[in-house]
Amino acid sequence: MSLLTVWMSSLTDQSRVYVPADSAARSVGADGVARSVEELGLPLKRPGSRGLYWLEPLLEVDSEQGRIGFGPLRPEEVHGVVDETGRPNLEHPRCLGPIERFEPLSCQQRLTFARTGIIEPTCIDQYLATAGFTGLRRALELGPQDIVDEIKLSGLRGRGGAAFPTGIKWQTVLDAPGDRKFVVCNADEGDSGTFADRMLMEGDPYCLIEGMIIAGLATCAEQGYIYLRAEYPQAYRTMQAAVSTARAHGFLGGDICGSGRRFDLELRKAAGAYICGEETAMLESLEGKRGVVRFRPPLPALKGLFGEPTVVNNVISLATVPVIMERGGEFYREFGSGDSRGTLTLQLAGNVQRGGLFEVPFGLTLREAIEGLGGGTASSRPLRAVQAGGPLGAFIPESGLDTPLDYESLKSIGAMLGHGGLVVFDDTADMGALARFAMEFCAIESCGKCTPCRIGAVRGTEVIDRIRAGEDPDANRQLLRDLCDTMVEGSLCALGGMAPYPVLSVLDHFPEDL
Amino acid sequence: MKIWSPGSGRRIAAFTGWSMGETDQLISQICGEHRHREGALLPVLHGIQDALGFLPPETAGRVAEELNLSRAEVHGVISFYHLFRQHPPGQRTLYICRSEACQAMGNGPLIDHVREKLGIDFHQTTGDRRFSLEPIYCLGNCACAPAVMLDDELHGRVTSDRLDELLD
């Protein structure tokens, strides 16, 4: 990878050892491995994670062939993989060879996640040394319309789930009259099976900051907010440190890079409401209110935060903007298939052998993702279902696995790509219980504004309980379908409007369970 | 008078006990720090909870007065968000992820194990006040499921044995 080579060539002294400081890597013991490295007296660096989570804790050591990877490691194995002089033991059974040539990584197309897992997240010098802020510098030379045109050309669509073309959203905000405009980053990644936002914020926070500044320049907004989940305390600390450093280096504030242009950022901590991932509920929450969804229209692009025109984008959409500005919209749109341009940050989770993040061009099939990249189920039992797109996404049976992973193809089978997370279940999964959970979750997280969602989800849970208890199952199944129909057609937002999809998919594809 | 500083630790404050006057002063101080921010209510409530471990009953009235809001508005916000709590938690809080990826990796038996071990259900605190148990919907550790968080420390690939080690 070019970024790595550039940065590696700047290293002159002793070889270094790298152990991720990503919270998921730490959750399975990376800190213990890091302590063992320090005990050996070797210089230690703590980057983010490569996203190869089945190999965490993953340790890497510099060598003439690039970084050599070892994993998953226990602290007591460290002295066996690297000696006191920092030389890697290539014969060790946990040796993965040069990590950049390791197939699960080399088969990817890392654009948004080019630096994650390589650089130390809050070190601004390393960010600058790996082409950081190059996209911003180019944006500063262009006018707002030129930036918007570049994003339109790239074909980038919202990576949060709705897949709305980012360039068109920015155009609407740019054209909207208003004295004040805002850029809001939706970092309330609450869908089960997704962790790309967390990984990026913990591994390459300046990339998100750079994307937000460019969004500000493109739409003439001077203030940005990052609405970040309280469930991600480490991402919050990393982003907070990066925002202060960026400000101290003149990338944020009243005079960005001496251009006279203004943009500043504020981090806001959420408080555990799933519904605040819905953009209008998030805006209410940022205003200091209950996270209750708003009627649309007006669109947030015209009347958003504090009633002003507002760009609301997901973390990954915004973090993809710098590479588009650096290498051009034409370059980015070469990747992908159909109307899904660029790369997909695929996240494999649940009962899968190789769970992690894979940045690949759109168009791979579900089977290629789960069996090829993921290596099948972790339990080695037959696969029963895959849930794509979080708790509001349908359960896809084995027969649907040849569907390509792009927005339109998944939609055509009644599923959705969402934020790119796939949760795999083996044949021990109780699909009836999962359908019940979908309704229960909707009842817990409903904001309460509209009746189909607030009451429907509670009644849905009860009806599923009755079916599972064998009470008049045929009539209750019909009732459940009617109720789902009411929720889909009558709810104000995607929570009530889509929570029925996993339920209906169980009725359709796994009737033996419900 | 106790001096509050940011991040002074929820565990200590929640158990030393603050007098009514001290709590009032603390709330005023935190409101003062955030008053200049637009839509300051969530940062204010987080500040109070970080200092005290929970939002005591006088919060709604005091914050309403300081931020020129109605008491109902503040109460409405406190009661809306799952992570704002109105009762003192145990010394440590164990959050167990209930979401689908963790279900796929068998979080059910893990939840049963914890309930039995601590003798409490979700949203409860043990009699000795050492632990509170809370459900949580996704910790972003879905590739290393099942996941739990002890205070703000994330743990992945958690088994019943591993959980026992964490709690003992």
Query: What is the Cα–Cα distance from B47 to B25, expressed in whole angstroms?
Result: 13
Closest residue in B to A289 (Cα–Cα): B77
Predicted local confidence at residue B4, as pLDDT? 42
Do B39 and A286 make contact, defined as CB atoms within 8 angstroms? yes
Tell me how many helices (H) and strands (E) chain A has.
Answer: 22, 16
Percentage of chain A lying above the pLDDT 90 cut? 96
**Token pair in block for residue B59:** 């919060």
Predicted local confidence at residue B21, as pLDDT? 84
Distance from CA of B59 to the nearest CA of A (A): 15
At how many degrees (to 10) do helices A431-445 and A451-468 cross?
A: 150
Average pLDDT over residues B52-67: 96
Find chain B residues with C-beta within 8 A of A444's C-beta: 137
Do A273 and B100 make contact, defined as CB atoms within 8 angstroms? no
CA-closest candidate to residue B105, choices B65, B77, B144: B144
Do A192 and B81 make contact, defined as CB atoms within 8 angstroms? no
- Interval A126-166: pLDDT, tens: 999 999 999 999 999 999 999 999 999 999 999 998 899 99
Mean pLDDT over all residues of chain B? 91
Predicted local confidence at residue A4, as pLDDT? 53
Cβ atoms of A229 and A457 within 8 Å: the answer is no
CA-closest candidate to residue B2, choices B30, A160, B156, B17: B17
Q: Does B109 touch chain A (CB under 8 A)?
A: no
CA torsion A44-A48-A51-A55 (nearest 10°) is 20
Predicted local confidence at residue B11, as pLDDT? 40
Do B145 and A426 make contact, defined as CB atoms within 8 angstroms? no
Percentage of chain B lying above the pLDDT 70 cut? 89
A352: left (phi over 0), alpha (psi -120 to 50) or beta: beta
Q: Does B149 touch chain A (CB under 8 A)?
A: yes
3-state helix, strand, coil in chain B (%, to 5): 50, 10, 40
Find chain B residues with C-beta within 8 A of A441's C-beta: 137
Going by pLDDT thresholds of 50, 70 and 90, the confidence category of residue A118 is: very high
Predicted local confidence at residue A386, as pLDDT? 98
Do A351 and B76 make contact, defined as CB atoms within 8 angstroms? no
Find chain A residues with C-beta within 8 A of B149's C-beta: 231
Question: Which string of DSSP letters, residue by residue, matches A76-116?
Answer: GGHHHHB-TT--B-TTSTTEEEEGGGSHHHHTS--STTSST
Cα A445 → chain centroid = 21
Q: Does B42 touch chain A (CB under 8 A)?
A: yes
Q: Is the pLDDT of residue A198 over 50?
A: yes
Predicted local confidence at residue B59, as pLDDT? 96
Query: What is the Cα–Cα distance from A19 to A28, expressed in whole angstroms?
Result: 12
Q: Which stretch of DSSP H or E encloses residue A175?
A: helix A166-175
Q: Give the other-Cβ count within 10 Å of B72's Cβ.
A: 10
Q: Give the other-Cβ count within 10 Å of A170's Cβ.
A: 28
- Interval A43-95: pLDDT, tens: 999 999 999 999 999 999 999 999 999 999 999 999 999 998 999 999 999 99
Q: Is the pLDDT of residue A193 over 50?
A: yes
Predicted local confidence at residue A497, as pLDDT? 97
A147: left (phi over 0), alpha (psi -120 to 50) or beta: alpha
Do B140 and A286 make contact, defined as CB atoms within 8 angstroms? no
For an interface test with A, the pick among B42, B67, B82, B123 (most A C-beta atoms closer than 10 Å) comes out as B42
What residues form DSSP beta bridges with B155? B148
CA torsion B138-A392-B144-B150 (nearest 10°) is 10
Average pLDDT over residues A433-462: 97
Q: Is the pLDDT of residue B8 over 80?
A: no
Domain limits, chain B: 10-80, 92-167
Looking at this protein, which amino acid is placed at residue A5?
T
**Token pair in block for residue B32:** 């003062």
Question: Which string of DSSP letters, residue by residue, matches A354-376?
Answer: S-EEEEEETT-BHHIIIIIIS-S
Find chain B residues with C-beta within 8 A of A194's C-beta: 138, 140, 142
Percentage of chain A lying above the pLDDT 70 cut? 97
Average pLDDT over residues A354-361: 97
Average pLDDT over residues A325-353: 96
Q: Is the pLDDT of residue B143 over 80?
A: yes
Average pLDDT over residues A177-197: 96
**Token pair in block for residue B137:** 């919907």
State the sign of the Cα–Cα–Cα–Cα dihedral B47, B53, B54, B57. Answer: negative
Q: Is the pLDDT of residue A206 over 90?
A: yes
Is the backbone peptide bond immediately before B146 cis, with ω within 30 degrees of 0?
yes
Query: What is the Cα–Cα distance from B168 to B153, expressed in whole angstroms?
Result: 15
Cα–Cα distances in angstroms (integers) from residue A450 to residues A326, A460, A486, B74, in the given order: 44, 15, 12, 22
Q: Does B87 touch chain A (CB under 8 A)?
A: no
Predicted local confidence at residue B19, as pLDDT? 76
Mean pLDDT over all residues of chain A? 96
Average pLDDT over residues A336-358: 96
Do A269 and B139 make contact, defined as CB atoms within 8 angstroms? no
Average pLDDT over residues A280-288: 98
State the sign of the Cα–Cα–Cα–Cα dihedral A375, A421, A214, A118. Answer: negative
What is the distance between the terminal CA atoms of chain A, rounded to a whole angstrom? Answer: 49
Closest residue in A to B156 (Cα–Cα): A27
Fold designation for B92-167: Glutaredoxin (3.40.30)
Cβ atoms of B143 and A54 within 8 Å: the answer is yes
Do B76 and A290 make contact, defined as CB atoms within 8 angstroms? yes
Block residue for tokens 């914050």: B63
- Interval A363-408: pLDDT, tens: 999 999 999 999 999 999 999 999 999 999 999 999 999 999 999 9
Which domains, ranges and CATH numbers included, belong to chain A? 2-106 (3.40.30.10), 124-333 (3.40.50.11540), 336-426 (3.10.20.600), 431-513 (1.20.1440.230)
B154 vs A27, A347, A424: nearest CB: A27
Do B155 and A27 make contact, defined as CB atoms within 8 angstroms? yes
